[in-house]
Amino acid sequence: MIHKNYKILSYLLIIFATSTAVAASPHSDRLRYHLEKLSKHPALAQQPITVILDTKILDATTRNLVTRHDGKFRYHSGNRYEIRIPANRLKQLLQRLPANTYVRLPYPHKTIAVTSQGVELMGAADVQALGNTGAGVKIGIIDLGFTSYITSQSTGDLPANLTITDYTGNGTGGTTHGTNVAEIVYDMAPGAEFYLAKISSILQLEQAMNDMQAAGVMIINHSVAWFGAAFYDGTGDICAITDTAETNGMQWVNAAGNSRPDHFLGVFSDADGDLRHEFATGQNYNTIDLTEAKTTTLVLNWDAYPTTAIDYNLYLYDGDPDAGGILVASSEDRQDGVGVGDYPYEVLSYTPTVTATYYIVVTKNSSSTSDIPLTLFSLGPSLGTKIFASSIVQPADCNSVLTVGAVDLVDGVEWFSSEGPTTDGRIKPEVSATNRVITSLSSSFAGTSAAAPHVAGAAALLLSADPTLTTVQLRDSLISSSHDINTTGFDYRTGYGRISLDADGDGFNHDDDNCPLISNISQSDIDGDGLGDVCDDDIDGDGLTNTEEDLLGTDPLLADTDSDGLIDGEEVNIYATNPLISDTDGDGLTDGEEINIYNTNPLVSDKGDLAPLGSADGIVNTADLLVLYRFIETFDTPDARDTVLADMNSDGLLDVRDALLLRQNLGY
């Protein structure tokens, strides 16, 4: 018998071509640059990305390489194949692909109608895919302006029909903030009915809420922070508004605020008796870096609501007040407990004429004035001496509000996102959501203002699925399905986690569900590819679809049906061996042994191929017979391979009968 192992040679040539392709680096520079950036951030490197593979022929070897590197083929057109693959695995794959393939990122593109990235990240796309778009739910968005909302309607980023009301008397414009917010809610719940309200005061806020309640609105989003109305402890007029909304069955969703680095909280301290608060030991001031021509507002309030006789004042100096600094702004409202306006807060705004470090001073009226907790917020740059904790603003502090912190697109906690607890020690925020997302008006709409509308939209989807949900049940559902991030369990930065919907209702949220569109309580995943068996067209991951396995008679739940060391897909698509028979050519060596160990042809019997001893030549002749005699006479000891191939009659013994059979095959 003369046998040349052309298949193995071809396979080696493919490997050689692959290795030379590495040096040539045929894949796109843009892709390599993108992967280099991702590799510097381990969390990003593990995230799946979408690439396009261009090849004239997608052979089984290339397909198998992709799947072995955790790649998933999604769509294809002509010679182009879209693959979804973890970035770190793609980097490895590029080193192994044949030279006749080309991998690139999708062509640069933009859309006219924009969808927030949060829709997919938080599972709203799953819910929408199952037919729930928030239909039957009315959502109210109370904000400070809706500039360009008509443009957003024309591009499909807001519904063609909506109700908008200006409560300020100045028109619905002024800022695109509310339009950006509304677009995010619409992306999350495109089937809902929208009510927009522009306001600029608490009275307008209350009227807008009342009108929305009368119109049947069930969810309100308010991405606005209010200062000075209470001590951020869940009390005051603003919380009364949100409490009324809850009483009437409306779920209020609010941004936590972006004030984490812009906040100070402490008890008034005056160790040296100069009536000035000490922000730190021996430091009678705070600092803030202001920029020329940019107005900044400072808000001081203290824990003596609703009215008080405790009188504190607020001052801003250009330069250290103890070293000749000049007073440039002040707020000295009198709190004597007599007037109706004795609210415990001071507010000053200042537009500097020079860029510099300015000094903030807080004083009390007299030495007999009580020392009580106070808080200072900057509505501009960060404070020099700051307290991150309890930087939650109003109405995010209210009991009746679902408060939302901000995380980035890879669940990193945003540095600015206001931190709990409330000043009276309650947990806030309850949940977090994505920000820095794209709208039709912004390439990166950032802040908790962007996070909150994702939650409002998610709430609409849940309410659409079950209109009987109470506000408590709705809130609990959003919290319970959230994806825990940052620290384990609740934390004052991200709450109970980032919103993650459970579209199919199987108890697993979007982040944890290996098959988010089909209920899959067991989460069974036989091949460990991250795709649940109930929605995996190749359950055992052997390279054959379940349908193909049914036609072939192989086991769709077992990657190697005949247990020969080769998975079924390799046998069918690469080696042309029989996936139902472990030894296709019947020579006593399994197909896997021939391919993986001995480099012999699994399609042609190697029985009797023994010489030269230890390195058979693929030719059966008299030399092989002589080696067999030496085995029989125990002059030489056969290894595992030769033991099988020398046993010509497959009886488990090496004896004269094997020699006679080999002689017969040779024609003697």
Instruction: Give the domain CATH number at 183.
Output: 3.40.50.200
pLDDT range class, residue 488, cuts 50, 70, 90: very high
Same domain as 270, residue 247: no
Same domain as 363, residue 323: yes
By CB atoms closer than 10 A (0-12, 13-18, 19+), residue 268 is buried
C-alpha 561: how far from its chain's center?
Answer: 37
pLDDT of residue 484: 96
Short-list 335, 342, 339, CA closest to 311: 335
The answer to whether 140 touches 103, Cβ cutoff 8 Å, is no
Same domain as 249, residue 358: no
For residue 334, being part of any structural domain is answered with: yes
pLDDT of residue 34: 60
Same domain as 161, residue 94: no
Same domain as 122, residue 227: yes
Domain boundary among 318, 351, 378: 378
Indicate the pairing of strand 48-55 with strand 80-86.
antiparallel
**C-alpha dist (Å) from residue 213 to 139, 210, 217, 249, 458:** 10, 5, 5, 9, 20
For the CA atoms of 276, 278, 282, 287, the dihedral, rounded to the nearest 10 degrees, stands at -100
| 181-209 pLDDT per residue, tens | 999 999 999 999 999 999 988 888 999 99
Domain count of the chain? Answer: 4
What is the average pLDDT across 284-307? 95
Same domain as 398, residue 374: no
For residue 562, being part of any structural domain is answered with: no
15, HSE (Cβ side, Cα atoms, 13 Å): 6
Query: Does the pLDDT of residue 515 top 50, yes or no?
Result: yes
pLDDT range class, residue 12, cuts 50, 70, 90: very low
For residue 519, being part of any structural domain is answered with: no
What are the backbone angles phi and psi of residue 16, rounded to the nearest 5°?
-65, -45
pLDDT range class, residue 340, cuts 50, 70, 90: low
- Looking at residue 290, its amino acid is L
Same domain as 209, residue 320: no
Q: Which DSSP string do the residues of 80-143 spell out, in sequence order?
A: EEEEEEEHHHHHHHHTTS-TTEEEEPPPP---SS---THHHHTTHHHHHHTT-S-TT-EEEEEE
pLDDT range class, residue 117, cuts 50, 70, 90: confident
Q: Can you tell me whether residue 310 is helix, strand or coil?
A: coil
Same domain as 408, residue 450: yes
Cα separation, 640 vs 643, in Å, equals 5
- Looking at residue 615, its amino acid is S
**C-alpha dist (Å) from residue 23 to 37, 52, 103, 158:** 21, 21, 15, 50
For residue 579, being part of any structural domain is answered with: no
Domain boundary among 480, 506, 541: 480
Same domain as 226, residue 126: yes
Query: Does the pLDDT of residue 104 top 90, yes or no?
Result: no
Instruction: Give the domain CATH number at 272.
Output: 2.60.120.380
Q: Can you tell me whether residue 11 is helix, strand or coil?
A: helix
- Of the ranges 124-138, 159-173, 452-466, 636-650, the best mean pLDDT one: 452-466
Query: Does the pLDDT of residue 659 top 90, yes or no?
Result: no
Q: What is the pTM of this model?
A: 0.74
Token output for 536: 């995996």
Count of Cβ atoms closer than 10 Å to residue 617 Cβ: 14
For residue 466, being part of any structural domain is answered with: yes
Cα separation, 239 vs 222, in Å, equals 13
The answer to whether 182 touches 146, Cβ cutoff 8 Å, is yes
For residue 485, being part of any structural domain is answered with: no
Cα separation, 396 vs 426, in Å, equals 11
The answer to whether 605 touches 587, Cβ cutoff 8 Å, is yes
- Looking at residue 452, its amino acid is A
Short-list 133, 138, 193, 203, CA closest to 168: 203
Show the 3-state SS of 38-71.
Answer: HHCCHHHHCCEEEEEEEECCCCHHHHHHHHHCCC
Instruction: Give the domain CATH number at 61.
Output: 3.30.70
Q: Which domain holds residue 28?
A: 6-104
Same domain as 192, residue 123: yes
Residues in Cβ contact with 8 at an 8 Å cutoff, skipping those fewer than 6 apart: 599, 601
| 33-56 pLDDT per residue, tens | 467 666 766 767 778 877 778 787
pLDDT of residue 22: 34
Residues in Cβ contact with 620 at an 8 Å cutoff, skipping those fewer than 6 apart: 1, 607, 608, 609, 662, 665, 666
Domain boundary among 345, 378, 411: 378
Query: Does the pLDDT of residue 75 top 80, yes or no?
Result: no
For residue 652, being part of any structural domain is answered with: yes
pLDDT of residue 37: 60
Same domain as 252, residue 141: yes
For residue 147, being part of any structural domain is answered with: yes
Residues in Cβ contact with 39 at an 8 Å cutoff, skipping those fewer than 6 apart: 45, 87, 88, 91
What is the average pLDDT across 281-302? 96
Query: Does the pLDDT of residue 4 top 50, yes or no?
Result: no
pLDDT of residue 561: 96
Show the 3-state SS of 580-595.
Answer: CCCCCCCCCCCHHHHH
Indicate the pairing of strand 163-166 with strand 193-198.
parallel
- Of residues 232 and 60, more confidently modeled: 232
Partners of 413 in the β-ladder: 407
C-alpha 395: how far from its chain's center?
Answer: 27
Same domain as 304, residue 315: yes
| 122-167 pLDDT per residue, tens | 888 888 888 889 999 999 999 999 999 999 999 999 999 999 999 8
pLDDT of residue 260: 96
pLDDT of residue 21: 32
